[in-house]
Amino acid sequence: MTKSNRRRKLALGFGIAALGLASNSYLVTKAINAWEPKFVNLAEVRKTYDVGILLSGGLITMSTPRQDHPAMGNHGDRLLQTYLLYKHGKIRKILITGTSGEMLMTRRLGETRQAASLLVSWGVPAKDILFEEKARNTRENAMYSGRILNKMFPSGKYLLITSAFHMRRSAGCFEKMGIKTDPFPADFRGGYNRFFIHKLVPDPEAFAYFCMLWHEFVGYVAYKAVGYC
């Protein structure tokens, strides 16, 4: 894009430096820790909530069309934390929100239904699980869930359960829709982060986490810009 050798060298140097920073596990973990909200222990949840709102997306994975049982997805910790909240009496009902591919939805094998089947197999009564299966994104999660909550649980207390890195955008969307929720972040990607020399070595896993964080940051800014959160 430039005929200047000096600019070419500067661009190449900047690219290498940026790649090095984005694949540095120490710096990336620090950035994720700064973005994610504080971890919440079950003992710190003082209220009993009418509904725990579980955002789908990565709860369940389908490895093959022949699969006859659910398998935990990349963000399956959301499902586990929801189960623990229910078993500890912190939430009375579970609302799972989000849609899946049309073919899976037609066969009633969408993520929400498979997540529910796991919860039932763990001992959660089916009558305590509710579904919202239209939402294609975070804004629609809030919009469609809000309609159900306002109809079935007016003036209820709601606990929002999603991945820690996704909580800012999710909570903002529900607040924008007039749904007051308390956050319960799950699926943390940060963690303890002591400095060791080996963490200076570029790490492809750290780069993947950086891409996830960058994607969420851009999404949050875009949602803010258009007034979704």
Q: What is the pLDDT of residues 116-127, one digit of tens each?
A: 999 999 999 999
Q: Is the pLDDT of residue 198 over 70?
A: no
Is pLDDT of 213 > 80? yes
Q: State the DSSP string of 98-166.
A: ----HHHHHTT-SHHHHHHHHHHHTT--GGGEEEE----SHHHHHHHHHHHHHHHSTT--EEEEEEGGG
Average pLDDT (79-97) is 98
Q: What is the pLDDT of residue 195?
A: 66
Residue 109 is predicted with a pLDDT of 77
pLDDT of residue 65: 67
Three-class SS state of 59? coil
Both tokens of residue 109? 């094998």
Taking only the tens place, the pLDDT of each residue in 149-172 is 999 999 999 999 999 999 999 999
pTM: 0.90
**Number of C-beta neighbours around residue 147 at 10 A:** 13
